[in-house]
Amino acid sequence: MRKRGRPAHTGESSRVAKIRVGIDAHMLGDRSGGNETYYSGIINALNPPEDMEIIILVPRSFSGSFKNGLKTVRFRHDNVLLRYLLDIPHIVRRYGLDIIHTQYFLPPFTCPAKRIVTIADICFMHLSGIFSLKDLIPQKLLIPVAAKRSDRVVTVSYYSRNDIAGTFHVSPEKIDVTYDAPTAVIPDDSAEEMVDGPYLLTIGNIQPRKNLVRLFRAFRSFRKRTRWEGKLVVIGKKDYNAERIMSKAGNGIIFTGYVSNETRESLIRNACAFIYPSLFEGFGLPPVEAMIHGIPTAVSNVTSLPEVVGDGALLFDPLSVPGISDSIEKLITDGELRKSLSEKGRIAASRFSWEQSAEKLVEIYRRTYEND
């Protein structure tokens, strides 16, 4: 029986038809942080079986390639609305896709393919005040629909799985988890050139969700209390309300802006410690990237972060400036704790790999295809 979305092909009846999957990877190259990292990591790790063909849908500006040689098809439009309403349905029909895998939003219901959507988190449902209206309105209108109307939902932690299921009244059996993972990167020599002396590191786009203003206050309190002369380094591009957030920084804080993967890796490996005070995460990859190298790490005790770090990192209340400051002091000054976190952090971070997540994603595609 021919699956929906597939046109007839000469000779196809004489052999087993391949399952054709299209992955919407419009975020590649947009410096969006976690979303770009997730798709780059999992796509490069994909190893589709002989009876499956995976096509990667990329932006017009994309000039790279994938380690596994997967075929790419470029979108004709950069506008998100035109991409979903025109480009994706056209590509589904042209290439006879059985499954289209998008991010957060769904193509029109008339699109002739089964639909899988990745929803990493639904922070907008809980902390709507930290989003611009331009971002908030389409998320509130369209993501609940995507969760309910898709054939399957993919997310990045069991915390997010339960949150999506409970908030949108979707069966958890419909939601699959494919974890993020650290990517092996050869570092450059940037750290010594960019920062003189020891430093505490944090990573994340500069926006309210990352809770940087409280971190700045906690860092100042720690330095005043201990006379520590090191710096706080913030890696991440400017995002919503960035200028207001950066104006609260004060002395001893360095903003690198967006950096290459090689520079990011150099700054991680040379950090004295890593701190992650985020208010909300679907996964939270930066702490894992630090832990895998034995960097003593502390993270917020909310949302997905306890699940992700296990016993490999110190936990603190992200709303408590004294609590954050106390955690910084422990990370920097407590030698026994630093040694313990270094060892446990490596073990906890080693649980995650792109290969495991990619294998699971292929299984999700097969189950979706076979479940008519």
Q: What is the number of structural domains in the chain?
A: 2
3 has a pLDDT exceeding 60: no
For residues 108 and 46, state if they share a domain: yes
**Number of other CB atoms surrounding residue 147 within 10 Å:** 23
Is residue 280 assigned to a domain?
yes
What pLDDT, in 10s, does the model give residues 291-328? 999 999 999 999 999 999 999 999 999 999 999 999 99
For residues 175 and 212, state if they share a domain: no
**What would the DSSP string read from start to end of 226-292?**
H----EEEEE--B-TTHHHHHTT--TTEEEEES--HHHHHHHHHT-SEEEE--S--SS-HHHHHHHT
What pLDDT is recorded for position 122? 98
Is residue 198 assigned to a domain?
yes
What pLDDT is recorded for position 5? 53
Range of the domain at 86: 12-181+353-370
Mean pLDDT to the nearest integer, 210-236: 97
Predicted confidence band at 36 (pLDDT cuts at 50, 70, 90)? confident
What pLDDT is recorded for position 213? 98
For residues 78 and 144, state if they share a domain: yes
What pLDDT is recorded for position 1? 37
14 has a pLDDT exceeding 80: no
Mean pLDDT, the chain, whole residue set = 93
For residues 25 and 145, state if they share a domain: yes
11 has a pLDDT exceeding 50: no
What pLDDT is recorded for position 15? 56
For residues 329 and 359, state if they share a domain: no
Which has the closest alpha carbon to 6: 24, 16, 19, 25? Answer: 19
Predicted confidence band at 368 (pLDDT cuts at 50, 70, 90)? very high
For residues 74 and 218, state if they share a domain: no
**Is pLDDT larger for residue 240 or for residue 109?**
240
CATH, residue 222: 3.40.50.2000
353 has a pLDDT exceeding 60: yes
User: Tell me, what amino acid is at 2?
Assistant: R
Give the DSSP H/E element, type plus range, for residue 94.
helix 88-94
7 has a pLDDT exceeding 60: no
230 has a pLDDT exceeding 80: yes
For residues 258 and 342, state if they share a domain: yes
What pLDDT is recorded for position 35? 82
4 has a pLDDT exceeding 60: no
CB 157 within 8 A of CB 172: no
By CB atoms closer than 10 A (0-12, 13-18, 19+), residue 181 is buried
* Rounded CA separation 189/193 (Å): 7
What pLDDT is recorded for position 324? 98
* Rounded CA separation 178/351 (Å): 12
